[in-house]
Amino acid sequence: MDYLPIFLAVASLMTAFSIYLIYLVKKGINGIGFLLVLYLSGSMVVMFASLSVFFSSPNQTTEALALASNSAYMIFGLIPILFSINKKPNARRWYTVLLFAVSMAVSEALMGETFDSILTKQLGNPLLGVQSYWYYGVMISEMVFTLVYSLKGMDRTLRNYLIVALPIMGISPMIFPSNPTFVTDATWLNASLMIVATILIYETLYRDRLKRTQETMTSLEMMLVFTLMMAGLFTYYLTGSWYVFDFSMLAGMSWFIYRAIEGPSHLKGNYLRDATWTFSFILVTFIMEWFMGGVLDFVTGTFSTGISGFISSLPLGFVSPTRDFGLGALFNFLSIFGAVTGSIWFLIMMGTEMGMLAVFRIGQVKLRENKIRLALMVSAYAIYTIYLPSFSPLASKIPYIPYMWSMGLGTLGPVSSHYLIPGIVGTYVVSAILSFLFGSRQICSVTCTAPTMYQGTFYDSLKSFNRTSKLGRKTLGSRLRPWYKVIALTVWASLLAFAVVSFLDQKGLLNFTIFGNDPTVFLYSFYFNFLWYVVFISIPFMGTYACATQGWCSWGTFNQFFGGLGLFKLKVKDPDLCVKCETKACAEACPVGNTDLPGNFIRSGQFKSMRCIGVGDCAEACPYNNISFYDIRSWLKEKLK
């Protein structure tokens, strides 16, 4: 029997009926009318739930069960309405509207499950109804109608969010889940659109940063939906199960209809004034990005699918969780975490998001020096971090090339003698010379991945937490705190000790590994694939550039040291202007919290400190255009004159 005409007719009726109910709710129906709408939406859930059971195994028992459940709902579901006839209840609350939106999504999923049970004569998990183009056809029709009907008078931020969310939920791998090519193509498109949406959220919050309140909760809700979707895709590639992604679709579509009807959340705030919210938002965003990076690694073959395939793909490996009194479990967490954050597709995805924010900022800065540096920074990320080590013809020779042994020790492999002189030592020598000539800005503001992530529009604005956070305030000023020295020395002592052990291992004089890994390779992964991201996520509590202001980054402290010894410094054309300046905007703008800039300018006409990484925000903020950069170029000009 050809069921297609029947399915098409039922789906069309469901679409028309659901759209009419959404129209009534959006129009503002309340009281008995709203209760009737809830009753009708619930009746669709009960009807399709009972039909899916019946068609999966048509017999007298399932027929009686279907009739009994629908009859019971028809009778008992009317009781609240009958008791409210003369009371004119205010039935429309945020949670009743949310219940209505959820019932819309669930009823369409159960419709898809009913169609599936008719064809297969089997009853599956109700979430399987999401894995149907019938479900998506009806739901997308309802979402499009809700959005179009709600556009007039809708908050601009919410309108933009819903417009960009619609194709993300509509172009789903679940439309044809049994077609691997479609799943792969839809996953790529989904991830690309989600990157665009994430950039939109960042820029929206940044654009409204000076307002007393923003759509903070609505932004967080949307990011939670994206996180759930990416977690669902990651779970699919890991286990072969679509259930988490099915649930994310139900949650996402329910949220979409609810927000289109109700408008933005009434819970608002400002991300520059609420450290707890900002931390939560950055954390949720990072989790979404971590899952997205893992998904892209699966799609590109960097990770093999399945749990065993994924474990076999981990660069550091996987050990028994109970090994060494439970340290095996901690190692496995670090191994899994760092496998994604250290992968090339995670870096590409993060670079796309953060790089676009940096590109937006190029148009906002006024000084040519800063425009050039920001352009170099984005280009360095694309070329130095992504292309050369992974895609260029030089990729296999990178360990032998000075200045390419990233982050000093451990990145590209163990400390062996054939890498030691050209690659490792050469990298330190070249970098020290460049920092001496141009300041540590050549690393900390250009070629490292950190500046691209810290200096885009949204994240650059977070430097306000340097002054407002408890720990951030303790890092203000150019003087190195004792605990900075302790952290930096501890990091360097561990790296040098592990480098010596690694070298002796390679010589055959020792046989020391950390769960089978070379010591420097493991330590690098811990510092730069895990700890750095912990520091980054903690910006609201630690301030920006904590890697540089607190000594966590060995590569940063190395170049800051030689930058402090070298030629680079900040100079002012007229110290008297600094005396007259009422704003002291240079100190406010410094992303590493060098609040003693004005005092140094007034006393000596210059500022020199290893904590200065040459971002140039101070020069940008100076109301008199009084601050300039001094490095080898300035020195040569003086000598030539």
Separation CA 304–CA 393 (nearest Å): 25
Work out the pLDDT band at 411, boundaries 50, 70, 90: low
Is 1 a residue whose pLDDT tops 90? no
- Top-ranked range on mean pLDDT: pick from 68-72, 356-360, 405-409: 356-360
Higher pLDDT, 410 or 176: 176
Radius of gyration, CA atoms only, the chain: 29
Chain segment 103-151, per-residue pLDDT in tens: 999 999 889 888 888 887 776 665 677 888 888 889 999 999 999 999 9
Q: What is the 3-state secondary structure (H, E, C) of 268-313?
A: CECCCCCHHHHHHHHHHHHHHHHHHHHHHHHHHCCCCCCHHHHHHH
pLDDT of 410 above 60? no
For residue 125, what pLDDT is reported? 64
Q: In sequence order, what are the beta bridge partners of 514?
A: 517
Distance between CA 101 and CA 45 in Å, rounded?
A: 12
pLDDT at 386: 93
pLDDT for residue 493 is more than 80: yes
Determine the pLDDT at residue 409. 59
- Confidence class for position 534, pLDDT limits 50, 70, 90: very high
Q: pLDDT-based confidence at 37, cuts 50/70/90?
A: very high
366: tokens are: 């006024």
Q: What's the confidence (pLDDT) of residue 78?
A: 85
| Residue-wise pLDDT tens digits, 431-456 | 999 999 999 999 999 999 999 999 99
pLDDT at 87 over 80: no
The secondary element (H helix, E strand) that includes residue 258 is helix 243-262
So what's the pLDDT on residue 585?
93
Contact 552, 535 (CB under 8 A): yes
**pLDDT of residue 181 exceeding 90:** yes
Residue 86: is its pLDDT beyond 80?
no
Percent of the chain with pLDDT over 90: 74
Give the number of other Cβ atoms within 10 Å of residue 424's Cβ: 25
pLDDT at 236: 94
- DSSP codes of every residue in 364-384: T---HHHHHHHHHHHHHIIII
Three-class SS of 583-617? CCHHHHHCCCCCCCHHHHHHHHCEECCCCCCCCCH
Which pLDDT score, from 0 to 100, does residue 142 have?
Answer: 92
Determine the average pLDDT of the residues in 82-107. 86
The yes-or-no verdict on residue 172 having pLDDT over 90 is no
Calculate the average pLDDT of the chain. 92
Which tokens go with 98?
Answer: 């949310």
Question: Can you give the pLDDT at residue 413?
Answer: 82
